């Protein structure tokens, strides 16, 4: 069975084509830096590897490029669109409507669209991917796997906000959390690596979007993002934690309207607002050249992560491991170093040589004396989505 997985991030579109149930990757790739003039398209099979630079303005353009190569007769991955039995989609915000993997219907699409105001960088891109995939692969079952699902185990003491009760009971305003598929996948891999039946770990998903989850005995108990993916860590273009009074100040004193404030906090803040760059690779390069704004932004980013490590270690009442994952977490040794510095009191001691390794497998990068293990676990949200999608359709 051929299963195509589409994972639309805020600035990227990752895809993998699996042969299931063998879990064999037929091809994979990414459309990276969507919206930039130097967007990159990578397409890889066991025989071919294609990389090209192109002006890819949006996710729709990117997905059509993916489909074009999947169906290219010279590449030979798919003979026809009918070869794809299932298209599995990552969808960020499921609200109260979706806590499980769901087959996509017109009603499901309407609910995903209605939740776009809560995930403005993601749900519209997710929905665009669904619409285009339905057109290109009309005979395939379309399945949605929601970021919020793994985080349903977070207890009320952590997900409830300190506002009048009716806002939860009547309007469902609460912490939902995101990147759940990634946190679930890497936490299970980390627990397997640790060989513990009971475990207390913190997973740190660092990409253009960033989040952290406290996980006790395979269940999430707290998460850095909240009602929307805007909350928590400093991200590529999102502010993360901010005093709500700033929003009133922007509106009342600086005369911003609410639409502009929403755009400011979601699309013009974070690392972009601090440095003029949203891609950490650019920021790291400029920091190496002595750019003070970029140096400070990296330090601020790491400082915010440290604060969450401390609070989650308290919530877990101990700590077995911290886990770095996603594009930045897996590849940026500078960020891992900054995060792990001066955390000796938690038994976190980074081994510089191991941290500098370019290995792309699950690995420990702590010293032998470190009481807390520091793991790098490559995420594979696409495989997790494929497994859940096939399981749903089988049943």
How many whole angstroms separate alpha carbon 270 and alpha carbon 88? 30
Token readout for 349 is 């001691």
Q: CA distances (Å), 225 to each of 123, 148, 238, in order? A: 16, 10, 11
Residue count (the chain): 395
Token readout for 192 is 């397997």
Token readout for 154 is 């977070």
Closest by alpha carbon to 237, among 206, 264, 204, 205?
264
Which 3-state string (H, E, C) describes 87-153? EEEEECCCCCCCCCCEECCHHHHHHHHHHHHCCCCCHHHHHHHHHHHHHHCCCCEEEEEECCHHHHH
Name the active-site residue from 147, 222, 231, 320: 147
Indicate the DSSP class of residue 77. S
Token readout for 178 is 């995101």
Q: What is the DSSP string of 197-264?
A: SS-EEEEEEESSSEEEEEEETTEEEEES--SSTTSSS--SS---S--THHHHHHHHTS---HHHHHHH
Token readout for 166 is 């009716």
| Known active-site residue 147 | yes
Q: Enumerate the active-site residues.
A: 147
């Amino acid at each position: 069975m051929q299963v195509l997985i589409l994972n639309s991030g805020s600035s990227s579109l990752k895809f993998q084509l699996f042969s299931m149930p063998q879990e064999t990757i037929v091809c994979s790739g990414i459309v990276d830096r969507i919206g930039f003039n130097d967007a990159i398209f990578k397409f890889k099979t066991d025989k071919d590897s294609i990389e090209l630079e192109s002006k890819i303005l949006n996710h729709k353009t990117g997905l059509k490029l993916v489909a074009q190569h999947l169906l290219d007769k010279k590449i030979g991955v798919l003979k026809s669109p009918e070869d794809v039995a299932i298209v599995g989609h990552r969808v960020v915000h499921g609200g109260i409507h979706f806590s499980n993997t769901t087959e996509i219907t017109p009603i499901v699409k309407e609910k995903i669209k209605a939740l776009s105001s809560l995930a403005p960088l993601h749900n519209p891109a997710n929905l665009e991917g669904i619409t285009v995939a339905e057109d290109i692969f009309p005979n395939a079952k379309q399945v949605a796997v929601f970021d919020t699902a793994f985080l349903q185990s977070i207890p009320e003491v952590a997900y409830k906000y300190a506002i009048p009760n009716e806002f939860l009971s009547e309007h469902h305003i609460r912490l939902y959390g995101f990147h759940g598929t990634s946190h679930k996948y890497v936490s299970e891999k980390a627990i397997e690596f640790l060989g513990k039946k009971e475990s207390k770990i913190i997973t740190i998903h660092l990409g253009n979007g960033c989040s952290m989850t406290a996980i006790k005995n395979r269940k999430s108990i707290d998460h850095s993002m909240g009602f929307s993916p805007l909350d928590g860590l400093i991200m590529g273009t999102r502010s993360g934690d901010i005093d709500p009074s700033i929003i009133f100040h922007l509106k009342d004193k600086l005369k911003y309207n609410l639409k502009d404030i929403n755009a400011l906090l979601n699309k013009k803040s974070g690392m972009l607002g601090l440095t003029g760059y949203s891609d950490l690779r650019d920021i790291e390069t400029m920091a190496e050249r002595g750019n003070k704004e970029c140096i400070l932004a990296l330090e601020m980013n790491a400082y915010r992560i440290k604060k969450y490590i401390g609070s989650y270690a308290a919530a877990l009442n101990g700590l077995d491991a911290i886990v770095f994952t996603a594009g930045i977490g897996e590849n940026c040794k500078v960020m891992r170093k900054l995060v792990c510095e001066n955390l000796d009191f938690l038994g976190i001691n980074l081994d510089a040589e191991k941290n500098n390794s370019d290995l792309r497998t699950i690995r420990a990068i702590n010293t032998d004396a470190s009481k807390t293990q520091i793991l790098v676990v490559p995420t594979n949200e696409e495989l997790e989505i494929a497994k859940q999608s096939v399981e749903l359709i089988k049943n």
